[in-house]
Amino acid sequence: MNFRHLALKNVKGNWRSYKAFLYSSCFSIIIFFMYASFIYHPDVVNGEIKTQLQNTLKGCNYIILGFSALFILYSNSTFLRSRKKELGLLTLLGSTKTQIARMVVLEQLLMGVLSIAAGIGVGMLFSKLFFMMMSTLLDVKNPIPFVWNGKPIVITAVTYFLLFLILSVFGLWNIRKLEIIELLKDARKQRVEPFYSKWLFVLGSIFIVAGYALATRVTLVNFMTFFFIVIGLVIAGSYFFFTQGSVAILKMLQKRKHIFYKQPNLFVISSLVYKMKDNARFLFTITILTAIVVSATGTMYTYFSDLREKILESSPHAVAYTEKGTIPGEIITKEEMQRLLQTHGFADAKEVELAEFPASFMANTKREMDVTIVSEEDYNKEAKKQGKRLIHNKVGSGTLIYPDAYGDFRFYNKNVFDFKVQGKDYSMKLNEQYTESVFNSSPKRTHLLFLVNKEDYEKLIASVPDTEKYVYHGFIIKDWEKTEKLVNDLRKHVGDEKQLLISERVLTYNMIKQGGALTLFIGAFISILFFLAACSMTYFKWFNDIERDRLQYQSLMRTGMTKKEVKSIAVRQMGTIFFVPIIVGIIHSSFALYALSSMLKANLLQTSVIVISIYCAAAFIYFLFAQREYMKHI
């Protein structure tokens, strides 16, 4: 028997250990291959797909490749540690370190070739479906067909083969340092009684609580100030929790006799004291990874699900334009606009007109900014129709409105509003600053409004020539999502020089919707990859102590325990290692999503519950299969 046959036998003998590695590797290769197939598709390279999108997909592939590298490197290291006794016996029988290294590399390359072949094969089967979904999301006129393209196959095969080869060789560094006696006695090493620092445990708890407290106070203004502080506190607190707190909690449970001496807690807790300490850094890593995956997924899902409401809020009217001067027809005559509406089936559209005039003020940044002066009477008429808040100002005072502003964000922080109209200075008391508007903004029409009493408005507008006044025309259209052709015809009619005076809802909505759907689609694949990798890493970690666990369970059975009782102990131990970092990571992500909701002034409770529930359900299903396979191996 040569080393190639021996490597093949070892793969077959350790198939249960390799299965999770194979599945996770295959999934990453499938995603990489499908993205590569799309990027290098002839219709994409020479067609209408934007270069920016192609670069985005290439970036996703780099992320997948980098994460695959870390996953493969960790998996190789875990497999070597779990086979120290086997490698020691081979050394004792006369095998050199070079021969053992060669055998291990052959095993890893064999698994790599299987992963690559299976990944490319499955990727080709689903490429057609992938292209159809991408065509739909990108709203491509002609759906992208499936074509035989050798370039993505070669790129995927060569890239991942080199990745498996380099990481397999790199992972053999530890073999050079291993001696026979160390390999053979590894499983018999006496465990040192775990210890912990009470003060580090308390410090870690303070860090986590402080991080959570600061997260609840995050706004758009202080985001950059709090972000790194919160992240640093939570990461440091999590590290101390697993390295010190896990042992401290288990030690406290051992002192609670009514808990500790209740079967099977005696055996579970005693074993977990060592396992949690030995695997503390690993559990900390899985916690942070889980928090990142759940937070990122929740953020993407929130962005997509709340998209329509945000567009409606920022653009209350389906179509709007602003004309300069009191004589109508600068942009389009009313008759021509009505003709366009009727042509496209929107004859029942309701028009809203608003008289206004421009002004300017000095912002907090000492930069002069434009603001539109509007009568509160006209504003309230439209606000009442939309069911929004009515604003009332006394003579000599006004309200400043910042549409799309969040939290404590302010352009102006004085109690008296100083502004200029036609070069003349004015001052009025500033009652409040509000973030909701009932009119569209456009590149030529500032989104900042200053509402004043009707009496003040008439005094101010009297000094403005008719040629410097503006009239806002907004149109309420019920089926606004079908107005794309209307908007395009309106823009053609207006001409290029006046495009910036028009604002609409549907084009912005379609553009953001398309980008959001694509982001969610791409992010979903990467999130699943991260999820599988995180769960698989925990599955591999179980194999670190497989020999010790096997001896422990055999000893328990010799004392008279049944297989069912031993399995109960094993499942509880594995479940703790598996679910504790996931639970802590989900708690972290819950506060992250809460901070996001506070920052954006959005209710993300339902979104957070959905994302966390899906993640927990997926983790539970993975655990059921993983523990079943592990118990077979035991």
Condensed to tens digits (0 to 9), the pLDDT of residues 421-446 reads 888 999 999 887 777 778 887 666 66
Average pLDDT over residues 172-195: 58
- Of 65-79, 379-393, 400-414, 584-598, which range is least confident? 400-414
Contact 215, 127 (CB under 8 A): no
Helix (H) or strand (E) holding 504: strand 502-504
Angle at which helix 223-240 crosses helix 280-305, to 10 degrees, equals 150
Predicted confidence at residue 27, as pLDDT, reads: 79
Name the residue type at position 345: G
pLDDT of 84 > 80? The answer is no
Closest CA to 172 of 124, 234, 102: 102
Average pLDDT over residues 185-208: 75
E-assigned strand segments in 378-440:
397-401, 416-421, 424-434
pLDDT of 617 > 80? The answer is yes
Cα gap 397→431, rounded to integer Å? 6
Cα gap 583→620, rounded to integer Å? 12
pTM of the predicted protein model: 0.72
Locate all alpha helices (DSSP H) within 241-355, ordered by sequence.
Answer: 246-255, 257-260, 265-278, 280-305, 307-314, 334-343
Cα gap 401→440, rounded to integer Å? 13
Name the residue type at position 155: I
Looking at the chain, the whole-number percentage of residues with pLDDT higher than 70 is 80
Condensed to tens digits (0 to 9), the pLDDT of residues 455-501 reads 999 988 888 888 888 888 888 888 888 888 888 888 887 776 777 77
Condensed to tens digits (0 to 9), the pLDDT of residues 156-181 reads 888 888 888 887 777 666 566 555 55
- The residue assigned the tokens 């590399």 is 105
Predicted confidence at residue 591, as pLDDT, reads: 87
Mean pLDDT of the chain: 79
Dihedral (CA of 144, 145, 147, 152) sign: positive
- Chain-centre distance of CA 497, in angstroms? 40
- The residue assigned the tokens 């920022």 is 314
Q: Is 473 exposed, middle or buried (0-12, 13-18, 19+ CB in 10 A)?
A: buried
Condensed to tens digits (0 to 9), the pLDDT of residues 108-157 reads 788 888 888 988 888 888 887 877 777 776 666 666 777 777 888 898 88
More confident residue, 440 or 398: 398
Cα gap 93→389, rounded to integer Å? 85
Predicted confidence at residue 198, as pLDDT, reads: 84
Predicted confidence at residue 207, as pLDDT, reads: 92
Condensed to tens digits (0 to 9), the pLDDT of residues 40-55 reads 877 666 665 555 566 7
Contacts of 521 (CB under 8 A, 6+ apart): 133, 134, 137
Structure-token pair, residue 74: 């960790």
pLDDT of 407 > 50? The answer is no
Predicted confidence at residue 71, as pLDDT, reads: 73
Q: How does strand 502-504 pair with strand 424-434?
A: unpaired
Condensed to tens digits (0 to 9), the pLDDT of residues 490-536 reads 888 777 677 777 888 888 787 777 666 677 777 777 777 778 777 87
Q: What are phi and psi of 425, to 5 degrees?
A: -80, 140
Helix (H) or strand (E) holding 362: strand 350-362
Cα gap 435→342, rounded to integer Å? 35
Cα gap 458→455, rounded to integer Å? 5
Predicted confidence at residue 206, as pLDDT, reads: 92
Closest CA to 400 of 387, 390, 382, 412: 412
Condensed to tens digits (0 to 9), the pLDDT of residues 207-259 reads 999 989 888 887 766 777 788 888 889 999 999 988 888 888 888 888 887 77
What residues pair up with 449 in beta bridges, in sequence order? 372, 401
Condensed to tens digits (0 to 9), the pLDDT of residues 558-577 reads 777 788 888 888 888 888 88
Predicted confidence at residue 46, as pLDDT, reads: 67
Contacts of 614 (CB under 8 A, 6+ apart): none
Dihedral (CA of 541, 547, 552, 557) sign: positive
